[in-house]
Structure 1
């Protein structure tokens, strides 16, 4: 699937859609609402995107690299060993979850809304993002352990991250993110 080249109008559409998707969820937002938010016509939206599905996927694709980059930055800025640095990622996530407008992971929320459509382009974008995060963690863990062990540990850490996102959202209690960070640190040191 080839992407349309980036343009200011396309970027404006994705930005408007992203704000609405974040606030209301992807199913609740119509293409008409995106057009109104972007100050464009529905026809202009469809000039840049074949469907709402492609727009949802584009929104998630724009979140991929920034989300991985923030994890990488938090890891790099943290002090201590690898376990401490990974735990710092969870501390930052807990801090973010304390913000009143926090709504969790957009990739996970979208996957819940589209759970009956496993081939949806947004599900594919979410899957790619989670894989990229796992691969990055694997690279870190492979510095001092066998590839197979590093891969297993990366997978376990992603499970802790995503599980914490879910439980924090459900309970509105960011301390679950801190608990997941402690668990990740224990796993890494084991």
Structure 2
């Protein structure tokens, strides 16, 4: 039995995602995305009015899967909340050891669009980072942290700093070091048991 073909819009976003993540948004043309999706440029523009709209769709498509992956790593880790936070960093370090790893797609896109703060993709990146922070804040609040808001912000800074330094140095141990720092912060912020 033949597998049904994916909807055209989904095929376009999937092709764009692979290319944008692998090569960067400015390096990839709309022609290249259309070719990878097996479509004409005209068909692509029927579904997306501009490359900017396609870039935003690429990041929107990464939002929930990335957040859910963090949540799964956290949930599946044994131990206290700080052990679960460390697991996120440990899993990111493992991912960074893969040859195709290119860092955080949200941060890389924001860097490429640094001169365009109102760009839809930058807004998508901001929204994603805010969702990660809100989720951590909720977890820390439920664990009894006195200032869950500040703690979540500090852990997000360590995550994003880890992404940046690992990408620069190509050394995943920096993500593990960021995880050590996050563990220390979270442990200190929680009530003694």
The Cα of 1:189 is off from its aligned counterpart by: 1.2
The Cα of 1:96 is off from its aligned counterpart by: 0.4
Unaligned runs of 5+ in 1: 1-6
Instruction: Work out the CA distance in 1 between the residues paired with 2:185 and 2:57.
Output: 35
Q: How does 1:62-77 map to 2 (within 5 A)?
A: 62-77=61-76
The equivalent residue for 2:90 is: 91
The equivalent residue for 1:18 is: 17
What is the TM-score normalised by the length of structure 2?
0.93
Q: How many residues align?
A: 182
The equivalent residue for 1:52 is: 51
The equivalent residue for 1:38 is: 37
The equivalent residue for 1:179 is: 177
The equivalent residue for 1:162 is: 160
Instruction: Work out the CA distance in 2 between the residues paired with 1:49 and 1:154.
Output: 35
The Cα of 1:23 is off from its aligned counterpart by: 1.3
The Cα of 1:22 is off from its aligned counterpart by: 1.2
**CA-based RMSD:** 0.8
What is the TM-score normalised by the length of structure 1?
0.94
Kindly provide the CA deviation profile for residues 36-55 of structure 1, in whole angstroms up to 9, marking residues without a partner as x. 11111111111111100000
The equivalent residue for 2:137 is: 138
Instruction: Work out the CA distance in 2 between the residues paired with 1:179 and 1:22.
Output: 25
Unaligned runs of 5+ in 2: 1-5, 189-193
Instruction: Work out the CA distance in 2 between the residues paired with 1:51 and 1:76.
Output: 39
2:117 aligned with 1:118: yes
The Cα of 1:176 is off from its aligned counterpart by: 0.3
List structure 1 segments (4+ residues) > 3 angstroms apart after TM superposition.
none
The Cα of 1:145 is off from its aligned counterpart by: 2.5
The Cα of 1:91 is off from its aligned counterpart by: 0.3
Instruction: Work out the CA distance in 2 between the residues paired with 1:61 and 1:31.
Output: 18
Instruction: Work out the CA distance in 2 between the residues paired with 1:98 and 1:40.
Output: 34
Instruction: Work out the CA distance in 1 between the residues paired with 2:15 and 2:171.
Output: 29
